[in-house]
Amino acid sequence: MTKPTDIEAEESPEIEPETADFQDKYLRAQAELDNQRKRFETERATLLRYGQEALLEDLLPVVDNFDRATEHVPEDQQGSSWVTGIQYIQKNLMDVLAQHGISPVEAKIGDVYDPQTQEAIGTADTTEVAEDHIVQVVAKGYKLHDKLLRPVRVTVAKPTKSNEN
């Protein structure tokens, strides 16, 4: 028995469908490998960008406490080196958070309430601010890069009873 040559193998009807099947399987496996590699790179980039989210979220109450402490410094302590040191530590903490992608979400009294970036924790009857506008900022909000980490916690003006006649 002689072995078929390459030319005879190409012309053999039994081998051609099997080769095409292997070629198709190879191409599909290659495409799946490429897709898996792309998914892995996307997940890796997301993990690197947002992997510290839980830790950074846990630090936000510390930031809030620094804010409260520096907002309520007694008059006679305003220029003391101790207060200056606390303010310096607060600034260092905010700088470190900024280096890791944390930025405050801006909101102030009189702004229109935005449920995308703000959480209404209460309402207030008032004529000083228009309906659905912020009456009080209770806690600052923060973003991690482009993702909302914590919404701004606000009190929102509701319609006064005199307007409901």
User: Which pLDDT tens digit goes with each residue over 115-143?
Assistant: 999 999 999 988 888 889 999 999 999 99
94-114 pLDDT, tens digit per residue, is 999 999 999 999 999 999 999
Percentage of the chain modeled with pLDDT above 90: 64
Question: What mean pLDDT value characterizes the chain?
Answer: 87
CATH code of 102-165, in short, is 2.30.22.10
Task: Give a three-class secondary structure readout of the chain.
Answer: CCCCCHHHHHHCCCHHHHHHHHHHHHHHHHHHHHHHHHHHHHHHHHHHHHCCHHHHHHHHHHHHHHHHHHHCCCHHHCCCHHHHHHHHHHHHHHHHHHHCCEEEECCCCCCECCCCCEEEEEEEECCCCCCCEEEEEEECEEEECCEEEECEEEEEEECCHHHHC
Q: What is the pLDDT of residue 33?
A: 95
- Report the pLDDT value the prediction gives residue 165, as an integer from 0 to 100: 45
**Is the model's pLDDT at 64 over the cut of 60?**
yes
- The answer, yes or no, to whether residue 74 has pLDDT greater than 60, is yes
Output the pLDDT for position 4: 54
Q: Delimit the domains of the chain by residue range.
A: 6-47, 53-100, 102-165
